[in-house]
Structures are given as structure tokens and as C-alpha cells.
Amino acid sequence: MNTTRIACVIGSAIVGSTLHAQSITDNFEAHQVGSFPAQGWHDITDRTVGSPAQSPSMAVIETTDAQGNPTIAVQTNQEPGTNGLYQEVSTETSFHHLSMNVRVDSMHSANAGWPAGMGYSRYSGEDDVNANPHAVIYVWTGRVWNLFIAPGDGRPAVDLRVNGPQFTVGRWYTLTLDVNVATGRFEAKVLDAVTGDLLNTVSHTYAQWDPAIDSFNSITVFDGGDVNSALQGQSTIDNVQYAPFDPDDCPADFVEDGVLNFFDVSIFLAAFSAQDSAADFTSDGNWNFFDVSAFLTAFNAGCP
Ligand SMILES: [Ca+2]
Ligand SMILES: [Ca+2]
Ligand SMILES: [Ca+2]
Ligand SMILES: [Ca+2]
């Protein structure tokens, strides 16, 4: 069964794409270089009290992606104070999935600093983002990734090492942070941005998690901004994908944006042609009509 024939079968089976209203996907290619990104993004300086940075605190730049090709991305300004961005998401979900590419451009010193963190926050319109409930994977001294979880009502935060090798400054990684806000279970991963190989991971369930008060209403990126301890560094992000559900529950969503469309079909076909395990929907080591059929079933079932 050749790929063209499969494409025809899939094309005739797809009647339309399903759109999940709360998903976010942004590769920043449409944003204006030199400006703060538009289209739903807000400057973290709106939520910074104790250590404000100059606003705008990030800027769209031309750079190169993990493969070395030109791309548009967003970079923190290198300065003391909290630099970053956020976008509001719905609290009417039991799950948040966030991934993005992150490149640490510089540390405050050879081995120390906090120049990038990405994850979730719950902001209620006052105080500093650092003092509000949040959960982020962040870059830390020793060139390691940590997962910091600060729940609501001032209960104790946990700070966990994301197990695996040190990161390299100047190299792109893919970071993902999933949280089930019904149970308080977090899963953080760092992947090689080129190969997709899992490099670092940690999971944690917050023992006293209370869904009534522990929730998040924003996805966010920000750096450590303590002026007095001079934690300034610099980082760049790209390819943000947020979905208000577990992508494991939506296997046809190859581009994990909660939207099932031609891009997912295209990547499925490429994976099928390459006999990539991702396209072996029946997990039998063969790539045939049964995989196409299973993909179509998953595609037509939509995302939760
Ligand atoms: Ca880009
Ligand atoms: Ca900063
Ligand atoms: Ca998709
Ligand atoms: Ca198969």
C-alpha cells in the first residue's frame, strides 16, 4: 500500500477537523522581529512587583532552530528583574499539557543562575508572580533542570531535580510539563530537540493537593529576577504547544496542539512511510492497512 493511496483513503475519510478551543500553538513566525509577541501573549512585568524588568521584557528575534535553520523565536532581555511572558488558559480542565523548545543563551556565571523557567501559574491580580501558585521547569545552578511546585494558600513548595544529564548552553531542548489538576500529579520531561530522545525526567504527586484551591490559569515563561542576587541570564523559546488534556488520550494528534488536521495526517504519513514506531498503531512491527484504519478511527474520535 503506497503512501499516495493511503493519502487518498485518509483524505476521503476525513470530513473536517476538530478544534479544541483552548489549545495554543505558536511558532512565532508571524510575529514582528524586535517587538514583544502579540496575539494573546502578555509581558510578565504586568505580574511583577518585587523585581520588575524593563518592559517589554522579551523580544521576537531571528535565530536558528535545533536543525540550524533560520527561525523566529522569542528571547528574554538579559537584565536583572523578572523577564518573561504569559497567556491565560481556562481553569475548566482537569489536565494541562505544555511543551516548548527552550535554549539557554547565557548563564549569570559559568555555572550559576536561573535564566529560564516554563510552566503554569495561578495569578489573581495582585502580588508578584513569584509569590503566587506556580509550577515550572527551570534552569538552575549546576546546569541542571529543576521542577518547582508551589501550591496555593502558602503551603510548602517542593523543588525537585529533573533527573538526567546537565544541559548545554546554546543548545535547543524540548521541555514538557504535564499536570493533572484533579490529582496533583506532575510529569516533567526534557527531550533532545532534534531527535526527540528523552534526556531528563521527573514525576511527582503533591501529597496535599486540593483541586478546590490548587489550579492554574496561565501558561508562563519567566526567569529568576532577584535584582540583589543578580541572577540574570538569557534564554530563547519557540514552538509553544499547549493543550488542556493529556495528549496520550489523543493519539492521532501528531502535532500536539489539540487540533486534528492535515498536519497530523501529513506527519502520520511520513512516519508510516519511514516505518517509524509512532505510526505502528497496532504495535505489531508491521505497517499496513490496519495501522491506517486505527489512525482514522483515532482521528475521527477527535481529541477530548
Ligand atoms: Ca519559530
Ligand atoms: Ca531577568
Ligand atoms: Ca494536531
Ligand atoms: Ca501495525
Q: What is the pLDDT of residues 114-140, one digit of tens each?
A: 888 999 999 988 788 888 899 999 998
Instruction: For residue 238, report the distance from its CA to the centre of ligand 3, in Å.
Output: 17
Burial 270-292 (b: 16+ CB within 10 A, else e): ebbeeeeeebbbeeeeebeeebb
Q: What is the pLDDT of residues 197-212, one digit of tens each?
A: 999 999 999 999 999 8
Instruction: For residue 23, report the distance from its CA to the centre of ligand 4, in Å.
Output: 30
Residues with CB under 5 A from ligand 4 (ion): 280, 282, 284, 286, 291
Burial class (CB in 10 A: 0-12, 13-18, 19+), 126: exposed
Average pLDDT over residues 149-173: 94
Average pLDDT over residues 29-37: 97
The Cα 285–Cα 281 span in angstroms is: 9
Nearest Cα residue to 58 out of 73, 40, 39: 73
Q: What are phi and psi of 267, to 5 degrees?
A: -70, -35
Instruction: For residue 57, report the distance from its CA to the centre of ligand 2, in Å.
Output: 8
Instruction: For residue 272, report the distance from its CA to the centre of ligand 4, in Å.
Output: 9
- How far is residue 37 CA from its own chain's centroid? 17
* The predicted structure's pLDDT at residue 284: 96
CB distance 226 to 233 below 8 Å: no
Instruction: For residue 194, report the distance from its CA to the centre of ligand 3, in Å.
Output: 19
Instruction: For residue 6, report the distance from its CA to the centre of ligand 4, in Å.
Output: 14
- Which residues on neighbouring strands pair with residue 139, listed in sequence order? 145
- pLDDT beyond 70 at 4: no
Helix residue spans in 49-157 (DSSP H) = none
- pLDDT beyond 70 at 15: no
CB distance 298 to 251 below 8 Å: yes
- Which residues on neighbouring strands pair with residue 121, listed in sequence order? 134, 218
The pLDDT-based confidence of 113 (bands split at 50, 70, 90) is confident
In this prediction, what percent of the chain has a pLDDT beyond 90? 66
Residues with CB under 5 A from ligand 2 (ion): 83, 223, 225, 232
* The predicted structure's pLDDT at residue 17: 47
Ligand closest to the CA atom of residue 65? 1
- pLDDT beyond 90 at 147: yes
Ligand closest to the CA atom of residue 83? 2
What is the bridge-based pairing of β-strands 58-64 and 144-150? Answer: unpaired
Nearest Cα residue to 84 out of 231, 219, 175, 220: 220
Q: What pTM, to 2 d.p., does this model score?
A: 0.83
The pLDDT-based confidence of 246 (bands split at 50, 70, 90) is confident
Instruction: For residue 25, report the distance from its CA to the centre of ligand 3, in Å.
Output: 9
- Give the type of residue at 2: N
Domain covering 24-244 in this structure, CATH number? 2.60.120.200
The Cα 272–Cα 174 span in angstroms is: 23
- pLDDT beyond 60 at 69: yes
- pLDDT beyond 90 at 3: no
The pLDDT-based confidence of 74 (bands split at 50, 70, 90) is very high
The domain locations on the chain are 3-18+250-301, 24-244
Greatest CA separation for the chain: 64
How many other CB atoms are there within 10 angstroms of residue 205's CB atom? Answer: 11
Instruction: For residue 120, report the distance from its CA to the centre of ligand 3, in Å.
Output: 22
The Cα 138–Cα 161 span in angstroms is: 10
- pLDDT beyond 80 at 18: no
Instruction: For residue 284, report the distance from its CA to the centre of ligand 4, in Å.
Output: 5
Instruction: For residue 232, report the distance from its CA to the centre of ligand 2, in Å.
Output: 4
